[in-house]
Amino acid sequence: MEDTGGTGAKCQPAREMTLLEAGPLGGRLTISGFLAGAVMGVAVLSLLWWIIDRAAWRRVAGGVEKLPTGVAIGAVALLGGILFALALIWIQHPLQMVLRLWIVATVASTNPVLLLLPTAVLSGIVQEPAKLLAVLIARAQCRRREIPGREGRRLAGDPAADALLYGVPVGIGAGALEAAMTLSHALAMAPSAGALLPVFVERASALVFHGSLTGLVAYAWSAGRGWLVLVIAALTHGLLNYVVVLLSTRLGLGGVWLIEAVVAAVAVALMLLLRRAVARQPQPPETGRPTSR
């Protein structure tokens, strides 16, 4: 999901050391924004880990002597953020610019709802395949390095493992990058601490959305229904963004909390779908290998 600007506050920005000046990602990435996004990413990943089922996270690697460590999970999330950023810079934003120019030239309209349609639709079409690519790369690398031999081959057919160990972290990495960019702007522009609350709520919901949706796509890919679920995920992502755009345009700042409620409801629904899918996954047979280090 992308920030639509509906929760932002306007004031004179405070000058802060930046990691990334205005560019293809759509704004400055400040140190405070980066740290806030990273902390939110870790917090939401931990929350998903606990809600989906702590036992399930342990079960997917049952019998494996060398489990993916916290560092490995962090590397998976980092990969998700990097490929997400590259997809935005090289694919999504150039296509959005071309489509907006085409709309202005052919439709002769400056209607913001129409002009923002490419942003809403392309976000899902571009971002979901990019996150899936990160999942596939991370899965191949982690299995080769962290789960070698027979146990890695056994785990290779477990959709729950793909969802929890690769899909969710990749989605969190992508969402954390978005959160860092949005919070970099919000922390500099918000006139008061209270004005930041809707932004943090929005980004927390977006992190749950990204992590859960990518987890579902990874699960489906491993289960042999990947293309269908990828298309559904891309359409869901684009549709949600467009609904947010419509509500922001129609309701303005007065509808901020309604928008947040819509995003949060979709995010929670996806999280519960992932929890149900993981819970229904049959437990792999015992291999006789020890389960503790």
According to DSSP, the β-strands at 18-20 and 29-30 are antiparallel
What percentage of the chain reaches a pLDDT higher than 70?
A: 75
| Terminal alpha carbon distance of the chain | 39
Local structure of residue 30 (DSSP, 8 states): E
**In 3-state terms, what secondary structure has residue 29?**
strand
Specify the pTM: 0.84
* Confidence band, pLDDT 50/70/90 cuts, at residue 179: very high
CA 110 to chain centre: 30
Burial state string for 101-136 with b = 16 or more CB within 10 A and e = fewer than 16: eebeeeeeeeeeeebbbbbbbbbbbbbbbbbbbbbb
**Percent of the chain surpassing pLDDT 90:** 46
> What values do phi and psi take at 93, rounded to 5?
-65, -40
pLDDT band, residue 11 (cuts 50/70/90): very low
Look at residue 232 in the predicted model and tell me its pLDDT: 97
Q: Check whether 292 has a pLDDT greater than 90.
A: no
Q: Taking Cα atoms as reference points, which of 136, 146, 144 lies closest to residue 166?
A: 136
Across 175-182, average pLDDT: 95
The pLDDT of residue 112 is 72
> How would DSSP label each residue in 65-130?
SS---HHHHHHHHHHHHHHHHHHIIIIIHHHHHHHHHHHHHHH----HHHHTHHHHHHHHHHHHHH
pLDDT for 39: 96
Angle, vertex CA 96, rays to CA 93 and CA 99, nearest 5: 155
Find the DSSP H helices in the chain: 31-59, 70-87, 93-107, 112-115, 117-145, 149-155, 159-161, 168-189, 197-223, 226-251, 256-280
- Model confidence pLDDT, tens digit, residues 147-160: 444 444 445 568 98
**Between 125 and 145, where is the model more confident?**
125
- The domain spans of the chain are 19-280
Q: Which two tokens stand for residue 57?
A: 């996270």
Q: Sorting pLDDT into bands at 50, 70 and 90, what band is 14? A: very low
Closest to 7 measured CA to CA, from 260, 290, 181: 260
Chain CA centroid to CA 240, Å: 14
pLDDT of residue 153: 43
Which of 53, 70, 64 shows the shortest CA–CA distance to 281? 53
Residue carrying the six token digits 């990947």:
226
Q: Is the pLDDT of residue 274 over 60?
A: yes
pLDDT tens track for 37-56: 999 999 999 899 888 877 76
pLDDT of residue 251: 81
Tell me which DSSP letter residue 252 carries: G
Decide if pLDDT at 137 tops 80: yes
Q: Each residue of 78-136: pLDDT tens digit?
A: 999 999 999 999 999 999 888 888 887 887 667 777 777 777 889 999 999 999 999 99
Quick check: 13 pLDDT over 50?
no
**Among candidate residues 42, 25, 36, 1, the one with its CA nearest the CA of residue 196:** 36
Lowest mean pLDDT among 62-66, 185-189, 250-254: 62-66
Of 111 and 68, more confident:
111
Q: Residue 227 in 3-state DSSP?
A: helix
Pick the more confident residue, 136 or 144. Answer: 136
Q: What is the pLDDT of residue 58?
A: 64
pLDDT at residue number 144? 66
Instruction: Report CA-CA distances (Å) from 16 to 34, 187, 234.
Output: 12, 10, 36
Supply 148's token pair.
Answer: 């070698």
Whether the per-residue pLDDT at 161 is higher than 80: the answer is yes
* Location of structure tokens 């280090």: 293
| Range in 7-11, 20-24, 208-212 the model is least confident about | 20-24
Given a cut of 90, whether residue 143 has pLDDT beyond it is: no
Please answer whether residues 175 and 207 qualify as being in contact, where contact means their C-beta atoms are separated by less than 8 angstroms: yes
Residue 168 structure tokens: 């969710």
